[in-house]
């Protein structure tokens, strides 16, 4: 059971979340978000999206994008998203996302978007040459959530600022169009020890799909050998493990491995550390490798099985898109009326 905050207003609880189909999903995506998605299915209706329109904010090879969209859908299902209970689809099949994003482009302020740290990180020195889509990406993310009037959004720590922006957009829309409670202010659900999984090579950097070193991350498609090797080679410091979690402060790599252990074992960092207090890293790493292999390899196997039948994945995505559209149609009708669009 995941503790969730109640949202203001009279909106029925609904979860929305999504992941970009760019490269393979990794342990950070799994522990920060996907695992919580699975649990939330027992608590409220859930809508889970493969956000292919977000992916094209940077250049994508069309064939690779299509393959990656199916792969991410397979990862959702393999991890436990039930496409019958929850709605699973890819964003580009439901036009409400793009339509509402345009309205939000006209609600959000330049100053708000200028503050987004992820744009600064992604654009880097190449700001002038970034796509306009990359800059307004958070508006599309707000549209994803609010087209369903979703109340809860399970994500990793790095999406917190984007969610604050989604709340600001919802609030300004409600105010500007005289509809005080039209959109809910969506609550981030950022819970558990895996909300910010760090690189295995550098404990100060987030584990990321775009890191050039494959040893920095564990991909959900890695086999047992790759997982074990990456954990054994993970950077640590020369000290033994501390007696308590306070002793992990200032030891980013050690703290990261303990958090990963706790998240995979579904326990607290304190409980994960206790049996290894004062020990060298080698024994801890062996246990962590065994745990990661036990938890992750069945998922990779199930993904491979699902990907053998891409037509079935496409069928699931289409069925999900039909159900998703049915939720967005009345919301968009009301948005059009509030904004003053005729017809
Ligand atoms: P994306 O595709 O970068 O990541 C997908 C999810 O994985 C989480 N995550 C992590 N969690 C812990 N540690 C890490 N190292 C780590 N790396 C990634 C992310 O926080 C995210 O939850 N903008 C979003 C996708 C999106 C979305 C939405 C999310 C589009 N529309 C609407 C929620 C609601 C993104 O790029 O996530």
pLDDT tens digits, 271-325: 999 999 999 999 999 999 999 999 999 999 999 999 999 999 999 999 999 999 9
Query: Which residue's CA lies nearest to atom 33 of ligand 1?
Result: 17
Is 68 in contact with 23 (CB distance < 8 Å)? yes
pLDDT at 6: 76
Is 90 in contact with 310 (CB distance < 8 Å)? no
Q: Is 122 a catalytic residue?
A: yes
- Compute φ and ψ for 130, nearest 5 degrees: -75, 155
Spot the catalytic one: 39, 122, 160, 172: 122
pLDDT < 70 regions, the chain: 8-9
**CB-defined site of ligand 1, < 6 Å:** 16-20, 28-29, 32-33, 51, 54, 141, 144-145, 153, 155-156, 158-159, 162, 194-197, 206-207
Q: Is 233 a catalytic residue?
A: no
In the block, which residue shows the tokens 């990963």? 260
pLDDT at 23: 82
> How far does CA 161 lie from the centroid of its chain?
13
Contacts of 327 (CB under 8 A, 6+ apart): 47, 87, 147, 148
d(CA 121, ligand 1 centre) in Å: 15
d(CA 316, ligand 1 centre) in Å: 22
Q: Which ligand 1 atom minimizes the distance to the CA of 207? A: 15
Crossing angle (nearest 10°) for helices 252-265 and 281-307: 50
pLDDT at 208: 95
Q: How confident is the model over 145-167, as pLDDT tens digits?
A: 999 999 999 999 999 999 999 99
Partners of residue 206 on adjacent β-strands = 198
Query: 88: which DSSP letter?
Result: E
* CA distances to 64, 156, 260 from 153, in Å: 27, 10, 22
Can you tell me the distance from the alpha carbon of 265 to that of 259, in angstroms, rounded to the nearest whole number? Answer: 10
Contacts of 198 (CB under 8 A, 6+ apart): 204, 205, 206, 207, 252, 253, 256
> How far does CA 290 lie from the centroid of its chain?
25
Helix (H) or strand (E) holding 153: strand 152-154
d(CA 210, ligand 1 centre) in Å: 13
Query: Which residue's CA lies nearest to atom 37 of ligand 1?
Result: 19
- Model-level pTM? 0.97
Could you tell me the domains of the chain?
3-196+310-339 (3.40.50.620), 221-304 (1.10.240.10)
Cα–Cα nearest to 13, from 163, 155, 167, 151: 151
Query: Ligand 1 pocket: which of 49, 144, 158 to mutate (most atoms <8 Å of CB)?
Result: 158
Can you tell me the distance from the alpha carbon of 236 to that of 146, in angstroms, rounded to the nearest whole number? Answer: 42
């Amino acid at each position: 059971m995941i503790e969730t905050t109640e949202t203001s207003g009279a909106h029925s609880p609904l979860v929305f979340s999504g992941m970009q189909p760019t490269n393979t999903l990794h342990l950070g995506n799994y522990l920060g978000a996907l695992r919580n998605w699975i649990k939330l299915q027992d608590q409220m209706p859930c809508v889970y999206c493969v956000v292919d329109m977000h992916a094209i904010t940077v250049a994508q090879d069309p064939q690779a994008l299509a393959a990656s969209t199916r792969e991410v859908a397979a990862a959702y299902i393999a991890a436990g998203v039930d496409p019958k209970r929850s709605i699973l689809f890819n964003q580009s099949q439901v036009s409400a996302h793009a339509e509402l994003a345009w309205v939000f482009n006209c609600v959000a302020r330049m100053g708000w978007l200028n503050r987004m740290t992820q744009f600064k990180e992604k654009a880097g020195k190449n700001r002038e040459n970034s796509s306009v889509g990359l800059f307004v990406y958070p508006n599309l993310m707000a549209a994803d959530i609010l087209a369903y009037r979703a109340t809860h959004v399970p994500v990793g720590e790095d999406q917190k600022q984007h969610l604050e922006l989604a709340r600001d957009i919802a609030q300004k829309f409600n105010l500007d169009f005289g509809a005080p409670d039209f959109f809910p202010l969506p609550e981030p659900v950022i819970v558990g020890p895996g909300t910010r999984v760090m690189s295995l090579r550098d404990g100060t950097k987030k584990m990321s799909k775009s890191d050039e070193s494959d040893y920095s991350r564990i991909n959900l498609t890695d086999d047992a050998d790759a997982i074990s090797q990456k954990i054994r080679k993970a950077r640590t410091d020369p000290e033994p493990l501390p007696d308590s979690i306070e002793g992990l402060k200032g030891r980013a790599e050690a703290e990261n491995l303990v958090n990963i252990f706790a998240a995979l074992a579904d326990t607290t960092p304190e409980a994960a550390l206790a049996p290894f207090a004062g020990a060298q890293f080698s024994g801890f790493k062996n246990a962590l490798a065994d745990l990661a292999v036990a938890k992750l390899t069945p998922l990779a196997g199930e993904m491979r099985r699902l990907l053998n039948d891409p037509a079935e994945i496409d069928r699931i995505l289409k069925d999900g898109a039909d159900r998703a559209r049915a939720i967005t149609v009345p919301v968009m009708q009301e948005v059009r009326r509030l904004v003053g669009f005729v017809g």
